[in-house]
Structure 1
Amino acid sequence: MRLLVLGGTAWLGQQVVVTALKRGHFVAALARGESGSVPPGAVVVRADRSRPDAYEVVRTQDWDAVLDVSRQPGQVRQATAALHERSQTYIFVSSGNVYADTSVPHQNENAPVLDPLTGDVMESMETYGEAKVACENAVRDTFGGDRMLVARSGLIGGPGDTFDRTGYWPLRFSRPAVSDGRVLVPDVPELLTQVIDVRDLANWLVDAAENKVHGTFNTTGESIPLPEHLDVARHVAGHTGPVVKARPHWLMAQDIEPWAGERSLPLWLPVPEYAGFSSRDSAAARAAGLRHRPLEETLADTLAWERARPEYGHRRYKRHAGLSDFDEAELLSLLS
């Protein structure tokens, strides 16, 4: 198979390239090279997707599949126009953020989506969902339903998660902020989580390219209640200290953010307004071959990766999600 990856230097794109190369496929990665390096073995095509000549080299070749992870509608429109006669399949990695209603659990791919972003450029993450809808529409308009695959991904986790959402909990349980080993967790037993391992998603995307799978799919992890997810994180970390639960209204009163960002607790989301955000129905993708490794393996491997990071051991290192040791200790003192 001849696979063209638009990107291939960031987390998921790199994993797709590695997976396809291991299977013996010819892989080319079109990228500026600013997000990282292209895995050895792939052909590197240096190009800036914001330029009109970005696809001059690859549009002269035939491809079995093109894989795109962009969030910029203008880039996707330009790519699909340049490659629609050269590629049999266009695979676009979208997001569950495209859905209009986050409160209804277990919705499938037929649930209503947001209105598409009207411009070519997503200026901020506030319009991420709308931008992904516009990207999906560009692929659908050019390639049609019988030559396109849209993978609406849930939260991606595993080794390499520099967004810090799936690594925070096993790392926190392995390295509590206070001497008696207490760890603060959100008390939301009704909240579901859906983490898909980056390696499992990459495997399925390459499978889909090989088998010419077409259509729109929710590609999420298995639905697991947040307390169960935290129990797995605690187990892989070997944590035996006390777990201190805090209700959402108390956390919000302390200016703790849900999901991500500074002073946040990853994976926590307010309910009922976000009851459907991490409980999408992915039965169609599973029927099309999506397989999940155990969450314990994902979190154990993520913890090992966290411990190997150059930042490990620097407690003043500012993460993209989670509480600092100082903030955690302060909150625990308020609850004691």
Structure 2
Amino acid sequence: MASILVLGGTAWLGREIATQGVAAGHDVTCVARGLSGDAAPGTRFVQADRAVPGALEKIAAREWDHVIELAWDPPVVSTTLDVLADRAAHWTLVSSISVYDGDTGPGADELQPLLAPDSDGDYGTQKSHAETLSAAALGERLLTVRPGLIVGRGDSSDRFGYWPARFALAAVDGRPVLAPPTADAWVQCIEAVDLAAFTLHAATDARTGPVDATGLPVLLAEVLDACATAAGFDGERRTADADWLVEHDVQYWAGPRSLPLWLPAEMTGFAQRDTARFRSWGGATRPLAETAARVLADELERGLERERRSGLTRADELALLNASP
């Protein structure tokens, strides 16, 4: 049994890591504000806002076999390292493939250069800064897990979940589904449960260094097919031209008024990363059809017509379909 400190542990991925840690027989403590949900059963929960000085005093004197950090805010990462870096035999930082600088094409791996660290920049530059801070404080005790697109039950981004939900709605109303161009478009994803399992396994195996943690590249067309099949949709899927979509203010990838998972044609490498290290370290992802079915079940529970962070509203989609050539 190992002592594991999860810095987070009440929200999506962190809670799954904590849950699996308890199931594996480890002594798991979670430190979080407690605003994102309840701690996993069987864990010790320490309520703390790490942005407040002295927030970690309750655990500052304890030694840990493994610390797992999920934060991306450099000041929070830095102050936590100041207090706990010398108390951990091994440390895992959950980072992101968004730290990589530019698109070097298909097959890029962990050796690709990173974005310049910036504590006031966007998500990628702040994650890069968190990596720099962690490496300086921990040296060879650091494992850096860089996930790709994380999907699955509880995903609040709505990027993957939009598609099985939209096909399920269309299966009921009998109207077409608007789709982006899929020729040579790729997706790489990993379910949160699989990412949690890998993170916990790699941490307790004391792996060190960076690793891109995501699935094998899959054509976007195959993702849409799997989501349509899961939803029982066999109606019309109307594919729009990329220029037409952009002209009609439809966004790439995520966010309001987007067609999620769709990327600009020039981003050839973002979803075609090499995952040899991940797989050689025991990483695995479940079949796409299983993921699509599991995500659909979650979407049905949460409500197909709920307000979403990503995607088109059904009304906007139907208006675009009516305007499409």
TM-score, length basis structure 1: 0.93
**1:221 is the counterpart of 2:215:** yes
Structure 1: gaps of 5 or more residues: none
- Residue 322 of structure 1: aligned partner: 311
- 2:279 is equivalent to residue 278 of structure 1: no
Structure 1 residues 174, 106: CA separation in 2 closer, same or farther (over 3 Å shift)?
Answer: same
**8 A contact 1:177–1:328 mirrored in 2:** no
Structure 1 residue 102: Cα displacement: 2.4
Q: Distance in 2 between matches of 1:50 and 1:262?
A: 30
Question: Shift of residue 318 of structure 1?
Answer: 2.2
Percent pairwise identity: 39
Counterpart of 1:154? 148
Task: Quote the offset at 1:299 in angstroms.
Answer: 1.4
Whole-Å Cα distance in 2 between the matches of residues 255 and 329 of structure 1? 14
Alignment match of 1:136 (pick from 116, 123, 131)? 131
Which residue in 1 is equivalent to 2:250? 256
What's the offset of the Cα at 1:179?
A: 3.8
- Post-superposition Cα deviations, 1:103-131, rounded to whole Å, max 9, x if no partner, equal 522210111111101x4xx4xxx611110
1:192 aligns with 2:220: no
Amino acid in structure 2 at the alignment position of 1:85 = D
Partner of 2:298: 305
- 1:177, 1:325 within 8 Å by CA — same for their partners in 2? no
**Counterpart code for 2:138:** F
For residue 94 of structure 1, what is the aligned residue in structure 2? 95
Distance 1:288 1:189 in 2: 32
User: For residues 171 and 34 of structure 2, what CA distance do their matches in structure 1 show?
Assistant: 37
Question: Contact 1:165–1:267 (CA<8 Å) still a contact in 2?
Answer: yes
1:297-316: CA deviation from partner (whole Å, max 9, x where unpaired) = 1111111011111xx15x3x
CA contact (8 A) 1:178 1:329 kept: no
Distance 1:174 1:132 in 2: 36
CA distance in 1, matches of 2:143, 2:91: 6
Structure 1 position 78 matched with structure 2 position 67: no
Q: Deviations over 1:226-270 (max 9, x none)?
A: 001111111111111011111211110110011111111000011
| Other-structure match for 1:7 | 8
1:212 corresponds, among 183, 191, 206, to 206
* 3-state SS, counterpart of residue 323 of structure 1: coil
The one-letter code of the counterpart of 1:73 is P
Any idea what SS the aligned residue of 1:322 has?
coil
Aligned residues of 1:64 and 1:209 also touching (Cα < 8 A): no
> 2:101–2:113: 8 Å Cα contact kept in structure 1?
yes
- Name segments (4+ residues, structure 1) moved above 3 Å: 177-181
CA contact (8 A) 2:32 2:47 kept: yes
Are 1:188 and 1:247, in contact at CA under 8 Å, matched by a contact in 2?
Answer: no
CA shift, 1:177, in A, is 8.4
CA contact (8 A) 2:171 2:234 kept: no
**Separation of aligned partners in 1, 2:278 and 2:134:** 19
**What stretches of structure 2 of length at least 5 have no aligned partner?**
none
Partner of residue 37, structure 1: 38
Structure 2 counterpart of 1:297, one-letter code: E
Give the Å deviation of 1:83. Answer: 1.3
Q: What's 2:320 paired with?
A: 331
2:108 counterpart letter in structure 1: Q
**Which is further off, 177-186 or 219-228?**
177-186
How many residue pairs match? The answer is 324
8 A Cα contact 2:171 2:235, kept in partner = no
SS in 2 for 1:262: coil
Root mean square deviation, CA, Å: 1.4
Q: Does the aligned pair in 1 maintain the 2:8–2:31 contact within 8 Å?
A: yes
Amino acid at match of 2:273: R
Contact preservation (8 Å) 1:188, 1:248:
no
For residue 178 of structure 1, report the CA deviation from its aligned partner.
8.4
The answer (yes or no) to whether the contact 1:177–1:329 under 8 Å persists in 2 is no
Matched to 2:74, the amino acid is P
2-structure distance, mates of 1:60, 1:228? 51
Find out whether 1:25 has 2:19 as its counterpart. no
Q: CA deviation at 1:208?
A: 1.1
Amino acid at match of 1:181: R
Tell me how far apart the structure 2 counterparts of residues 296 and 60 of structure 1 sit (CA, whole Å).
Answer: 47
* Amino acid corresponding to residue 234 of structure 2 in structure 1: T
Q: Determine the C-alpha separation between the residues in 2 that align with 1:64 and 1:298.
A: 33
One of 208, 228, 233 as aligned partner of 1:234: 228
Alignment deviations for residues 131-162 of structure 1 (CA, whole Å, 9 cap, x no partner): 00110011110110x21100111010011111
CA distance in 1, matches of 2:173, 2:282: 46
Partner amino acid for 2:288? L
Question: Which amino acid is the alignment partner of residue 163 of structure 1?
Answer: S
Q: Is the 8 A contact 1:69 1:94 kept in 2?
A: yes
Q: TM-score, normalised by structure 2?
A: 0.96
Offset, 1:52: 2.1
Structure 1: distance between partners of 2:171 and 2:248: 18
